[in-house]
């Protein structure tokens, strides 16, 4: 039986930079998180995942770590962090650190040493190769941030690998000394009393030692098949588990890009002693035409259901554990993407919450989802701060896409959409800062935490209720999943079964009224409505679902 606290619990992701600023510099900070702990406790979440706040030149908002042992001054001090940890724990909230060990910042002292030449003891902490015969990069792998994944170091004439931003060199995990330094560093955080790690792009750490060229035939043939779920990754994670996770009782979630259910079962089946759970991103690619992210497209509900169902069924069959989410700091908001962020904004936010929270796995909420925040809706490239988005824009223009179309693509796809500051109240900048926010939306939006808290029917309380339900009823962690209608482009319905109980969840992903009926095998049972976004209190077997209506039924 799945009965761990984190299998019944919910994680709240904080993007500190955009959460709450207490000193008026326009950047959210640790003291801001401390001030909002009561708010988070009221929501009822179990665990706070904090995206990186370590010392960093911030070329990728902290995912480029220059010092793993210190807090970046723009977020506060280690004393602030210790206070956060203590005050969170007092409220029953656990803390999960974001840990990036696929790469460091180029400013990390290991890399600064490595740059001194091939004889330096730190040289081998990174991945260096001689140029190809034509003097160009050693192979044709592409960076996730556009262009080649290799950068020439003129002094030595060798290239270093950066699968991400050019200022983020990849670490060489084949080096046992590097492994040991990383495990010790993680243990240092374990000693401090943190409760878990979210492991950044962790399934990329083991590269194919031959570094072969890829075909570049499709958008996916960019080299990833040679480093995703690579040859030694399970070994490294098992070691990490033995040295750190198990020792400190940490809950862990791995960010797994371009992975498979088979691999994620290995990562998360407890018998293998690797991780607690895994994020996959296949459902985030249902609007990538031909696998291309930077293109405009609308998703099909049948694709979304197919992908989600595959992961529900396969992970359960293999004893793995999913991390469930609709968005995070790397994705646009889910509202416009999968439902509606205008006329049916409130209903859509609740619909997405109800659909996700009925599934098997650990549920994640990204800051602002609980008040139905929308995309940034930037209209000019100068408003974007994110390197990935800016690079993508430049490449779209170079490929002949018009500026207007490129901006439209960014408006749909840019991760910066989810990074605009939290909307706390009606004061200037929504109470996020008394200064100028580091990133500002141009649209006025009066949906705020204050208003959500004051309205007992708000989306905030839908989440609060769903979080409590998952803790209360064992069926959420244990029920067998069955998709009901695979064909409909409008209705998303599924059942979960466990012992003598069932959950039935249905959502209408359209603006039209839709006829729906309780599946025949459940019609004669006792039916309780666990969640409804239209305030339904009773139910006939035949229902006319309203626009974006969702229901969660409990049958016995």
**What are the residues binding ligand GLC (CB under 6 A)?**
60, 63, 100, 164, 200-201, 255, 329-330
Residue 12 CB contacts under 8 Å (≥ 6 apart), including other chains: 40, 43, 45, 47, 48, 49, 364, 365, 367
Q: 8 or 144, CB closer to ligand GLC?
A: 144
Catalytic pick among 195, 200, 369, 416: 200
Q: 76 or 196, CB closer to Ca ion?
A: 76
Least CB distance from residue 392 to ligand GLC, whole Å?
A: 13
Residue 513 · residue 546 · CB < 8 Å = yes
Phi, psi of 171 (to 5 degrees): -80, 150
Our finding on whether 434 is near Ca ion (CB under 5 A) is: no
Our finding on whether 23 is near Ca ion (CB under 5 A) is: yes
Residue 367 · residue 422 · CB < 8 Å = yes
Among Ca ion, ligand GLC, none, what does residue 21 contact (CB within 5–8 Å per kind)?
Answer: Ca ion
116, 135, 359, 439, 492 from 211: Cα distances, Å: 24, 16, 39, 38, 43
Among Ca ion, ligand GLC, none, what does residue 94 contact (CB within 5–8 Å per kind)?
Answer: none
273: left (phi over 0), alpha (psi -120 to 50) or beta: left
Least CB distance from residue 62 to ligand GLC, whole Å?
A: 9
Least CB distance from residue 103 to ligand GLC, whole Å?
A: 7
Least CB distance from residue 502 to ligand GLC, whole Å?
A: 36
Q: What is the DSSP string of 462-498?
A: HHHHHHHHHHH-THHHHPEEEES-SS-SSEEEEEEEE
Among ligand GLC, Ca ion, none, what does residue 63 contact (CB within 5–8 Å per kind)?
Answer: ligand GLC
Mutual angle of helices 403-413 and 387-398, in 10-degree steps: 150
Q: 327 or 448, CB closer to ligand GLC?
A: 327
3, 174, 298, 330, 356 from 339: Cα distances, Å: 32, 45, 11, 19, 13
DSSP state of 133: T
Catalytic pick among 195, 255, 370, 388: 255
7, 8, 9, 27: which one contacts Ca ion (CB under 5 A)?
27
Q: 21 or 341, CB closer to Ca ion?
A: 21
**Does the active-site annotation cover 200?**
yes
Count the Cβ atoms, other than its own, within 10 Å of residue 340: 19
Q: 29 or 98, CB closer to ligand GLC?
A: 98
Among Ca ion, ligand GLC, none, what does residue 201 contact (CB within 5–8 Å per kind)?
Answer: ligand GLC
Among Ca ion, ligand GLC, none, what does residue 60 contact (CB within 5–8 Å per kind)?
Answer: ligand GLC
Our finding on whether 29 is near Ca ion (CB under 5 A) is: yes
Q: Which two tokens stand for residue 422?
A: 């939290």
Q: 139 or 389, CB closer to ligand GLC?
A: 389
Report the DSSP pairing between strands 251-255 and 196-199: parallel
Count the Cβ atoms, other than its own, within 10 Å of residue 356: 20
Residue 338 · residue 326 · CB < 8 Å = yes
Least CB distance from residue 387 to ligand GLC, whole Å?
A: 8
The interface region with Ca ion, picked from 21-29, 223-231, 326-334, 356-364 by CB under 5 A, is: 21-29
The interface region with Ca ion, picked from 19-27, 83-91, 180-188, 196-204 by CB under 5 A, is: 19-27
Distance from the first to the final alpha carbon of the chain: 20
Query: CA-based Rg of the chain, rounded to a whole angstrom?
Result: 23
Least CB distance from residue 200 to ligand GLC, whole Å?
A: 5
335, 472, 547 from 351: Cα distances, Å: 10, 21, 10
For the annotated catalytic residues, the residue numbers are 200, 255
Positions touching Ca ion (CB under 5 A) are 21, 23, 25, 27, 29
């Amino acid at each position: 039986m799945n009965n761990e606290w984190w299998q019944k619990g919910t994680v709240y992701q904080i993007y500190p930079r955009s959460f709450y600023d207490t000193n008026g510099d326009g950047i959210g900070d640790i003291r801001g998180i401390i001030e909002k702990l009561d708010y988070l406790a009221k929501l009822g979440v179990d665990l706070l995942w904090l995206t990186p706040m370590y010392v960093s030149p911030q070329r990728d908002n902290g995912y480029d770590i220059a010092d793993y042992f210190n807090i970046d001054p723009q977020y506060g001090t280690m004393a602030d962090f210790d206070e956060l940890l203590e005050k969170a724990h007092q409220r029953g909230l656990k803390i999960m650190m974001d840990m990036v060990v696929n790469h460091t910042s180029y400013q990390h002292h290991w890399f600064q040493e490595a740059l001194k030449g091939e004889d330096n003891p730190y040289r081998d902490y990174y991945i260096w190769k001689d140029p190809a015969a034509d003097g160009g990069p050693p192979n044709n792998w592409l960076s996730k941030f556009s262009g080649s994944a290799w950068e020439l170091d003129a002094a030595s004439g060798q290239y270093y690998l950066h699968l991400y931003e050019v200022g983020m060199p990849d670490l060489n995990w084949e080096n046992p000394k590097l492994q040991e330094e990383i495990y010790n560093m993680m243990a240092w955080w374990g000693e401090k009393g943190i409760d878990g790690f979210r492991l950044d792009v962790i399934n990329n750490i083991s590269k194919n030692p031959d570094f072969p060229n890829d075909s570049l035939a499709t958008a996916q043939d960019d080299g990833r098949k040679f480093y995703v779920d690579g040859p030694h990754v399970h070994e490294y994670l098992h070691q990490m588990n033995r040295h750190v996770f198990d020792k400190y009782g940490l809950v862990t979630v791995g960010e797994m890009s371009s992975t498979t259910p088979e691999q994620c079962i290995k990562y998360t089946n407890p018998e293998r002693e690797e991780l607690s759970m895994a994020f996959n991103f296949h459902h985030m690619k249902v609007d990538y035409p031909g696998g291309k992210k930077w293109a405009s497209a609308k998703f099909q509900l049948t694709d979304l259901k197919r992908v989600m169902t595959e992961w529900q069924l396969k992970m359960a069959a293999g004893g793995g554990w999913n991390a469930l989410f609709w968005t995070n700091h790397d994705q646009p908001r889910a509202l416009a993407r999968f439902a509606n962020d205008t006329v049916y904004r409130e209903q859509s936010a609740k619909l997405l919450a109800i659909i996700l929270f009925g599934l098997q796995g650990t549920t994640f909420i990204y800051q602002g989802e609980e008040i139905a925040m929308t995309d940034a809706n930037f209209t000019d490239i100068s408003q974007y701060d994110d390197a990935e988005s800016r690079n993508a824009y430049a490449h779209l223009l170079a490929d002949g896409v018009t500026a207007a179309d490129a901006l439209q693509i960014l408006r749909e796809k840019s991760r910066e959409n989810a990074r605009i500051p939290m909307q706390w109240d009606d004061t200037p900048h929504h109470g996020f800062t008394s200064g100028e926010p580091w990133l500002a939306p141009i649209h006025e939006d009066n949906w705020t935490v204050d208003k959500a808290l004051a309205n007992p029917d708000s989306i905030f309380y839908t989440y609060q209720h769903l979080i409590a339900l998952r803790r209360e009823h064992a069926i959420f962690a244990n029920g067998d999943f069955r998709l009901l209608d695979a064909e409909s482009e409008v209705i998303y319905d599924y059942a979960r079964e466990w012992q003598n109980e069932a959950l039935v969840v249905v959502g209408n992903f359209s603006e039209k009224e839709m006829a729906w009926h309780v599946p025949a095998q459940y019609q004669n049972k006792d039916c309780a409505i666990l969640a409804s976004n239209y305030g339904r209190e009773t139910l006939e077997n035949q229902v006319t679902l309203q626009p974006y209506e969702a229901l969660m039924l409990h049958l016995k």
